[in-house]
Amino acid sequence: MDQKKIGLFIATCRKKKGLTQKQLAEKLSVTDKSVSKWERGIHLPDASLYIPLCEILGITISEFFLGEYETEHHEVVPQVLKEDYHKMQRNERWNMVLFIVSMLSVFWISFTWHWDLGWLMLEEHLAPFANMYYLSYGYWLAYYLIFRRKKFGYVLMWIIYLILVSGIIANWGYAFDVMLNHIDFWINSAFTIWGVYNGDIRFRNLLKKKSEE
């Protein structure tokens, strides 16, 4: 696989479509610096962007990997790569559903069981559902933010964690010793987020590496 040839082909197709690097980057939710690196052959786009990029440029997946327009049919993309991409698309939808269901479960149980105490009981019943909530939210955030803007997504994930966990507890007047009683919940949730982040990053890197072989 010739990265420089593919990069030049991306640049040629982009210009034919009348797009700047910045405009193409915006359509794919990446930076123009990333597009520049693709076109210079420094590295290929993330595997999740292959199909969207080809649709924008008006080329086939085979043409993308060939780095030129096809004169005859060439199947240069392993079927497993296409299947992995479509599987990730299906996972995005299911993870969004799981995220919504887990959030509704937390609030429904808190307010149904202890409506008279309302928000004061939320933290107490949040712990049993922490893993389900953070796992589903972690995957959701990973697909929509981390893999397109990794650093931003990583920082945002931890900000959300601090707001939802320590923020909820602090804002409703819990004493420090009470918060310490639930330190296991904090740690468990943090490790869940870390595991989700690293697991998906490793999977994406492996998929990208295989596609370059």
For the stretch 161-194, pLDDT in tens is 555 555 555 554 445 555 555 555 555 556 555 6
CA–CA separation, 106 and 125 (whole Å): 7
Tens digit of pLDDT for each residue in 128-168? Answer: 455 545 555 555 555 555 455 555 555 655 565 555 555 55
Does residue 74 form part of some domain? Answer: no
Statement to judge: residues 17 and 94 lie in one domain: no
- For residue 168, how many other CB atoms are within 10 A of its CB? 14
Q: How far apart are CA 135 and CA 142, in angstroms?
A: 10
In a shared domain, residues 138 and 37 = no
User: What is the residue range of 91's domain?
Assistant: 79-212
Do 200 and 99 fall into the same domain? yes
In a domain, 96, yes or no: yes
Establish if 16 belongs to a structural domain.
yes
Residues 59 and 157 in one domain: no
38 inside domain: yes
Same domain? 62 vs 87: no
CB 138 within 8 A of CB 157: yes
Q: 83 and 61: one domain?
A: no
User: For 59-113, how does the pLDDT look when each residue is reduced to its tens digit (9 = 90+)?
Assistant: 988 888 888 887 654 444 455 455 555 666 566 666 566 556 655 655 565 555 5
Whether residue 86 is found in the same domain as residue 165: yes
Q: Is residue 43 part of a domain?
A: yes
Final residue of a domain: which of 38, 66, 94? 66
Alpha-helix runs per DSSP H in 29-175: 32-39, 50-57, 61-66, 79-113, 122-126, 130-141, 150-162, 168-171
Q: Report the number of distinct structural domains present in the chain.
A: 2
- Residue 141 domain flag: yes
For residue 73, tell me if it sits in a domain: no
Q: 199 and 100 in one domain?
A: yes
Residue 72 belongs to some domain of the structure: no
Which pLDDT does position 69 carry in this prediction?
A: 82
**CATH number of the domain residue 33 falls in:** 1.10.260.40
* Residue that terminates a domain, selected from 44, 66, 88: 66
Residues 159 and 187 in one domain: yes
Segment 37-51 shows an average pLDDT of 86
| Same-domain status, 104 and 62 | no
Same domain assignment for residues 32 and 101: no
- Residues 3-39 have pLDDT tens digits of 888 999 999 999 999 999 999 999 998 898 999 999 9
Q: Contact at 8 Å (CB) between 21 and 11?
A: no
Do 120 and 184 reside in the same domain of the chain?
yes
